Amino acid sequence: MLNPYRILKIEKGGEIAMKAGFIGMGDIGLPMAKNVVKKGFETYVTGHVRRQPIEEMVALGAKECATAKEVGENVDAVLIMVQNDKQADEVIFGHNGLMEGLKNDSGIILMGTFAPSFCRKVADAGKPKSIDVLDAPVVGARMGAEAGTLGISVGGDKDAVEKYRALIETMGTITYCGELGMGQIVKLANNICATINSWVLAEAINWGIRNGASEEMLVKHIQGGSGGSFIATNYQWIKTMWTDPPPPTYYVGAKDMSHVLDIGLDLRQPCPFTALACELLKGPPPKIFESADG
């Protein structure tokens, strides 16, 4: 019997297994993709930026394709986890892109953080082929991606959500948010909190250190107090973003906050703290002072 995670549909003659594609295997995308293949999906991948993730996926049993178009030709649904709208546009609409290869009635699941308007653009382009489009951005960082416990805010047609639920849930837990684009809205609301909190946490720790407290004591106390948060709980992880130079994923935060501000402008919704965080993210990350005790 087929692994129930993999069943696409049941037709006369037996069960048909869903084949999945994955494009965008960076810091969070790679462990997500690994969970897809580990759960038994026949998975097709193509290189986007780096070679190493492809080799790791092939070692797990994934099949490598030369182009996004070739991925689309071989699968029932493609998961896209690239960094920004520009990269996603290239993957989907560029030369040898997904739209050239996807079959009728297949699916695109947008798992990166993109503008809701971009998600709707993809859906409009897919209508001639009856392509399902869902936006399904994730929260939970690298730790959640590795454990398969990401929070996944999904927007789009409810029937399409159920069609691809088993595939999406290999990576975490779905929160259905409403129409296409609402997954991005819910994710961006989370990112407002996380981004601002990271800067506030760094400010608080530096303030404490300058007054004679140790970094270790401050972090432990904040984690258990009213100032606690996901960022504080995962302090060692957030510090990996506060390096010189920071990892490329650090600057993704500025892109996310720019989406928030653009949408806020359309709504005439003030977002002063988001605006400050967005400006800070354009420069170097916070630097934690040395504690007096070393």
Domain extents for the chain?
Answer: 4-179, 185-281
- The pLDDT score that the predictor gives to residue 92 is 98
The first and second tokens of residue 229, run together, are: 């948060």
Which fold does the domain 4-179 belong to in CATH?
Rossmann fold (3.40.50)
The reply to whether 185-281 shares the fold of 4-179 is no
Residue 100 CA to residue 92 CA, distance in Å, equals 8
CB under 8 Å to 70, separation ≥6 — which residues? 44, 46, 96, 101
Omega cis (within 30) before 247: no
> Which CATH number describes the domain made up of 185-281?
1.10.1040.10
Residues paired with residue 77 on neighbouring β-strands, in sequence order: 20, 107
- The pLDDT score that the predictor gives to residue 77 is 98
- The pLDDT score that the predictor gives to residue 195 is 96
- The pLDDT score that the predictor gives to residue 293 is 61
The sign one gets for the Cα dihedral 180, 181, 185, 188 is positive
- The pLDDT score that the predictor gives to residue 248 is 84
- The pLDDT score that the predictor gives to residue 12 is 43
pLDDT tens profile 110-147: 999 999 999 999 999 999 999 999 999 999 999 999 99
- List, for the chain, all residue ranges whose pLDDT scores fall below the cut of 70: 1-16, 48, 292-294
- The pLDDT score that the predictor gives to residue 19 is 96
Q: Residues in the chain, how many?
A: 294
